[in-house]
Structures are given as C-alpha cells and as structure tokens.
Amino acid sequence: MDTKPKVQNRSTKDDPVIVALPAACSDEKAAVGFMEAQRWGDHPACPRCGDLDVYQMKDAKTGERQAKFRWRCHGCKDQFTVRIGTVFEDSRIPLRHWCFAFWSACSSKKGVSAAAKRHRPSSWLSGKSSGAGTSGSGIALARTMVAILENNQTKEGDVLIPAALQPYMGELTRIKKKR
C-alpha cells in the first residue's frame, strides 16, 4: 500500500507565506516588503555583484523610503529593486497584483476562476480591489511557471522539480520529456 500523501490532501492554509500574502496585497509598499523578505530575508544583496553592503535609497526631503523602492550597492554603485533578476523585472504589473495572483492560486484547492479574480477584493484589510483580473493574474502565473521550467530544465529536455514544489506535485522530482 502506498503511504505517500496525495497532492490534493496537502493543505496550505497554515503555511506562513500564504498567511502573509493577503496583507501584501493591500498596497505596493506592503507587497515590496513581502517580496524583499521572501527574496533576501534579513540580508539584502545586490543582484548584479552579490555584495551584501547595500542600503535603501531615501527621499532627501522626507527621509522616507523612495517611491520606486530602490536600493544602492556600495560595491558596484548600481541601483536595483527587488524585481531585478526575477520574472517581475520587465513587468509593469504592480507587485501587489503579483501577490494577489499568487495568493488566489495558492489559497484555493481547485484554483480560482477568472470571474472570481475580477470581483474578489485583494485584501479584507484595505477593502480595495486589486484590479488584477484575467490578464494580469494569468500573465503573472504563466511567467512564474515559465521561469520555473526554464531555470530547471536539463540538457536532455527534462525539468527538475524544485524541492519546495515536490510535496505539491505528489513527490515528483522530474518531468521527463516525451522522446
């Protein structure tokens, strides 16, 4: 008898990342903070040179964080954001919409219909709609899937499943190319 848990029996409701996602949907500052915490944790690093000696750029007049959420590296003197080097880099879709797409896809066992994405508010904390409808959410999830496939493809054409996704894919470790 097979004792492996089935994919559909694994719950994500207590996952700390998924619990934090609704708050990240409320505004862009919260979404950027969430994405920075997921990417770097407590140690932000320059995506170009890897240097850990970086700082947040602040508005000279107010002392608040810059509106575009830029960082500057002391090593290479380059500016960057949390988007650089990710699937978000060339996207004009706000990060709060990306967060909403991830949350809506992860929080429902069977996914979310296009109609539900259009009408569901992004966060019960803010009461504002995310504005992420069929095109934005679909593009976000499609880009994410393409990035996973491209970054984990072998020379033979197989795709290695990242360890973090294996529990949700029935412990599958590799998708084999049809030969």
Strand partners, 82: none
Secondary structure (3-state) at 56: strand
* CA-based torsion, 124, 127, 131, 134: positive or negative: positive
Whole-model pTM: value is: 0.63
96 and 128 in contact (C-beta within 8 Å)?
A: no
Q: What is the pLDDT of residues 157-176, one digit of tens each?
A: 888 887 777 777 777 888 88
Per-residue pLDDT, 123: 38
**pLDDT category of residue 103 using cuts at 50, 70 and 90:** confident
